């Protein structure tokens, strides 16, 4: 890396931050040298009903596979996020809600008010029969009730499973059924970028495929028309009438589940990633404090959707555990225009904004004037997450948005990791555009080659993690064997991330992207197998293969190859119909950007589709397809190349 690509820690950050460069080395060193003491010390940042005396208790080995943290501790997550702040900062704003429509009024909730709302919500859930350990599916847009609902589950020990509002009724039904939840919390409609999303109608449509669904709690948000099914559907405001605004927090074991969040993998259906109460909250709180040097009084804005892990950890659990003022925004960063995200920063005097590279690339494309039309004087720190950030977008964020004065905190992590794993600390870490820099305390990284050989020094390979950390997922809901197989069987004794990564001579980590069949579309994970399964459900489709392709704004786009059943004819209408089909089956985020009709797919003689070739063609890199002689029918490749859908 050339020296000019190094952005040293600004002097004022080095002076005022909690952790400076020497501090980082010490912290990291200690976390690995004496993890037992280190983690029990860290556990003190939480309020325990019973303080743990055991830290990590885990093994990644097949014969003794288990992961537990603080297993003798007892706590309640919502009490950690609310009750314990009441004495000191009951009147401080906990949650600021910024509406989609810039002319509408924001809403603000103090810790005391948020506590009351969460308790009331918890009482509604209890009145609907929800008990400790039950699964509650939450299908809500970015409205304050989403925060109330998640924390209410945590309060009574119910396990929430949030389904992103952009998922279709079919996808929703699959997630309701998989975790066996009998109740869904939704609202009449969502609102994004001036458009309405028919959430309640989607729940109605999902019910046909979710026979176990017995209760739907409906929050009135837009006031749009909905059909209420007697005996199943209840209005939240009616159910809440007369219920108290206090509710005792349920004492939970540290290892009791807090939530399930479905995420895509290389194969099969989405997996229900399960997180625990104690370890997860500790990780959320610690990483929020370290990576962002969070201080009381700072207004914190994580611009993710609460339907993704980033929203769980950094809109709610981390910041609220730390007594922060957290902002939740209903709308899109570039609506009504590309100034909006920065206008929101000005309106609420945001100190740190945390968003995805895809949003930055889209905003960058609209030009600097939209940024310069705003003040941004309150901004001190800029965060990014979700996909590798290209150095151009990084520099634009740093130079134009932050006017050169705000460190860029690029955080690498996954739904499975619970919170940030590789990230700079603003007072400690010199920055390099495009690198998430260095590991968090306790995170022991390894680069391994395809054969499992450990690579040392400057090297590029697959990223594995050799020890457990408190925020690690505990299992795949209902399928512990799949948990082991997916993450611990590739490199025995290690957690395999699925990401490729380079380590430079300074020990900085550079994530190069997924090395499995997961694609990252606008920072959202999508399994190619899921899109393929959706396509082959169409009566005219015989076979489908899906790969990622480079996309200027989204990072990766979806390129689908489709073989039709004998007798069916390819046409532009059918192409449009198939794209629409996938939108309906999974959701708009899964809609292929390009769809090519392919009379045949490149397969080995044993019938395995050679995705490497399909990826090259999708990328437009047809001159280096490599060896195609092992294909059952090499001629199919010529047809695929000739009929490639040009990038548009």
Binding interface with ligand WTA (CB under 6 A): 263, 308-310, 385-388, 410-415, 436, 497-499, 511, 513-514, 520, 525
DSSP structural state of residue 592: -
Name the residue nearer to ligand WTA (CB basis): 198 or 513: 513
Name the residue nearer to ligand WTA (CB basis): 313 or 563: 313
- Does 107 appear as a known binding residue? no
Structural contact between residues 36 and 9, judged by C-beta atoms closer than 8 angstroms: no
- Does 29 appear as a known binding residue? no
CB of 124 to ligand WTA, least distance (A): 30
Task: Give the whole-angstrom CA distance, residue 577 versus residue 303.
Answer: 33
CB of 414 to ligand WTA, least distance (A): 4
CB of 55 to ligand WTA, least distance (A): 25
Q: Quick one: the chain helix, strand, coil %, rounded to 5?
A: 35, 25, 40
CB of 487 to ligand WTA, least distance (A): 12
Q: Which two tokens stand for residue 512?
A: 């190069």
- Does 412 appear as a known binding residue? yes
Neighbours of 414 (CB within 10 A): 16
Name the residue nearer to ligand WTA (CB basis): 287 or 374: 287
Q: Which two tokens stand for residue 259?
A: 């939530």
Name the residue nearer to ligand WTA (CB basis): 52 or 498: 498
DSSP structural state of residue 105: P
Task: Decide: helix, strand or coil at residue 38.
Answer: helix
H/E stretch holding 573 reads: helix 572-585
Structural contact between residues 605 and 578, judged by C-beta atoms closer than 8 angstroms: no
- Does 503 appear as a known binding residue? no
- Does 410 appear as a known binding residue? yes
Name the residue nearer to ligand WTA (CB basis): 110 or 468: 468
- Does 499 appear as a known binding residue? yes
CB of 501 to ligand WTA, least distance (A): 9
- Could you tell me where the beta strands, DSSP code E, fall in 598-643? none
DSSP structural state of residue 613: H
CB of 366 to ligand WTA, least distance (A): 23
- Does 57 appear as a known binding residue? no
Strand partners, 301: 327, 353
Query: CA nearest 272: which of 237, 309, 302, 246?
Result: 309
Name the residue nearer to ligand WTA (CB basis): 128 or 310: 310
Name the residue nearer to ligand WTA (CB basis): 124 or 463: 463
Task: Give the whole-angstrom CA distance, residue 565 versus residue 10.
Answer: 62
Strand partners, 138: 162, 185
Task: Give the whole-angstrom CA distance, residue 516 versus residue 499.
Answer: 8
CB of 435 to ligand WTA, least distance (A): 9
- Does 388 appear as a known binding residue? yes
Name the residue nearer to ligand WTA (CB basis): 249 or 388: 388
Sheet holding 107-110, edge to edge: 107-110, 93-98, 325-329, 299-302, 352-355, 381-385, 408-411
H/E stretch holding 361 reads: helix 357-365
Task: Give the whole-angstrom CA distance, residue 482 versus residue 494.
Answer: 15
- Does 522 appear as a known binding residue? yes
Residue with token string 């309906």? 584
Give the nearest residue (CB) to ligand WTA.
415
CB of 413 to ligand WTA, least distance (A): 5
Task: Give the whole-angstrom CA distance, residue 177 versus residue 168.
Answer: 14
- Does 249 appear as a known binding residue? no
Structural contact between residues 521 and 481, judged by C-beta atoms closer than 8 angstroms: no
Task: Decide: helix, strand or coil at residue 483.
Answer: helix
Strand partners, 503: 459, 509
Name the residue nearer to ligand WTA (CB basis): 257 or 386: 386
- Does 520 appear as a known binding residue? no
What is the DSSP code string of 17-28?
Answer: SS--HHHHHHHH
Name the residue nearer to ligand WTA (CB basis): 410 or 532: 410
- Does 368 appear as a known binding residue? no
- Does 437 appear as a known binding residue? no
Name the residue nearer to ligand WTA (CB basis): 97 or 394: 394
DSSP structural state of residue 85: H
159-169 burial code (b ≥16 CB/10 A, e <16) = bbbbbbbbbbb
DSSP structural state of residue 182: -
CB of 78 to ligand WTA, least distance (A): 23
Structural contact between residues 315 and 322, judged by C-beta atoms closer than 8 angstroms: no
CB of 415 to ligand WTA, least distance (A): 3
CB of 166 to ligand WTA, least distance (A): 14
Binding residues for Mg(2+): 536, 538, 541
Binding residues: 192-195, 310, 334, 386-388, 410-415, 499, 514, 522, 525, 536, 538, 541, 583
Binding residues for ATP: 386-388, 410-415, 499, 514, 525
Binding residues for CoA: 192-195, 310, 334, 522, 583
């Amino acid at each position: 890396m050339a020296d000019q690509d190094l952005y040293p820690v600004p002097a004022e950050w080095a002076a005022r931050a909690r952790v400076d460069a020497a501090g980082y080395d010490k912290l990291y060193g200690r976390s690995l040298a004496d993890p037992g003491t280190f983690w029990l010390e860290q556990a003190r940042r939480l309020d325990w009903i019973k303080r743990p005396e055991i830290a990590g208790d885990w093994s990644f080995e097949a014969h003794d596979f288990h992961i537990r943290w603080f297993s003798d501790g007892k706590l309640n997550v919502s009490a950690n996020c609310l009750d314990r702040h009441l004495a000191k900062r009951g009147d401080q704003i906990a949650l600021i809600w910024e509406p989609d429509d810039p002319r509408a009024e924001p809403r603000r909730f103090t810790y005391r008010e948020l506590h009351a709302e969460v308790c009331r919500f918890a009482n509604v859930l209890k009145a609907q029969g929800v008990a400790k350990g039950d699964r509650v599916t939450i299908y809500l847009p970015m409205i304050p009730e989403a925060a109330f609902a998640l924390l209410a589950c945590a309060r009574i020990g119910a396990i929430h499973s949030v389904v992103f509002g952009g998922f279709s009724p079919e996808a929703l039904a699959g997630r309701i059924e998989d975790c066996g939840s009998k109740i869904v919390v939704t609202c009449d409609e969502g609102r994004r970028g001036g458009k309405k999303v028919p959430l309640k109608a989607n729940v109605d449509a999902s019910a046909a495929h979710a026979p176990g669904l017995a209760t739907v709690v409906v929050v009135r948000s837009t006031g749009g028309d909905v059909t209420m099914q007697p005996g199943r559907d209840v209005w939240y405001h009616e159910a809440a009438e007369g219920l108290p605004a206090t509710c005792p927090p349920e004492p939970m074991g540290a290892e009791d589940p807090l939530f399930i969040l479905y995420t895509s993998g290389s194969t099969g259906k989405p997996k229900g990633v399960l997180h625990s109460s104690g370890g997860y909250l500790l990780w959320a709180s610690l990483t929020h404090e370290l990576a962002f040097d969070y201080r009381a009084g700072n207004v914190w804005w994580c611009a993710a959707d609460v339907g993704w892990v980033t929203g769980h950890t950094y809109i709610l659990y981390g910041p609220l555990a730390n007594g922060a003022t957290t902002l939740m925004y209903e709308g899109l960063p570039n609506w009504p225009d590309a100034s909006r995200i920065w206008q929101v920063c000005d309106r609420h005097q945001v100190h740190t904004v945390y968003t995805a590279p895809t949003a930055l690339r889209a905003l960058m494309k609209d030009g600097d004037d939209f940024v310069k039309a705003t003040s941004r004087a309150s901004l001190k720190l800029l965060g990014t997450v979700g996909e590798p950030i290209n150095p151009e977008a990084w520099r634009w964020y740093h130079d134009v948005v932050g006017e050169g004065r705000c460190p860029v905190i690029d955080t690498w992590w996954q739904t499975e990791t619970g919170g940030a794993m590789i990230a700079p600390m603003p007072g400690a870490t010199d920055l390099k555009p495009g690198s998430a820099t260095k590991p968090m305390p306790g995170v022991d990284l390894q680069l391994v080659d395809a054969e499992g050989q450990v690579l040392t020094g400057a090297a590029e390979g697959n990223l594995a993690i050799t020890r457990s950390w408190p925020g690690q997922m505990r299992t795949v809901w209902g399928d512990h064997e799949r948990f082991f197989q997916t993450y611990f069987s590739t490199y025995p004794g290690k957690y395999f991330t699925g990401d490729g990564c380079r380590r430079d001579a300074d020990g900085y980590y550079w994530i190069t992207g997924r090395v499995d069949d997961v694609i990252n579309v606008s920072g959202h994970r999508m399994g190619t197998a899921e899109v393929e399964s959706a396509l082959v459900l169409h009566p005219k489709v015989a076979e489908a293969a899906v790969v990622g392709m480079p996309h200027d704004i989204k990072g990766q786009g979806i390129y689908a190859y489709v073989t039709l059943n004998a007798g069916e004819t390819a046409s532009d209408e059918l192409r449009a119909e198939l794209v629409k089909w996938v939108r309906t089956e999974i959701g708009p985020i899964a809609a292929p950007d390009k769809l090519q009709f392919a009379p045949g797919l490149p397969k080995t003689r044993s019938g395995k589709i050679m995705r490497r070739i399909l990826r090259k063609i999708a990328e437009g890199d047809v001159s280096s397809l490599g060896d195609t002689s092992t294909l059952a029918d090499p001629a199919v490749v010529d047809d695929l190349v000739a009929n490639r859908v040009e990038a548009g």
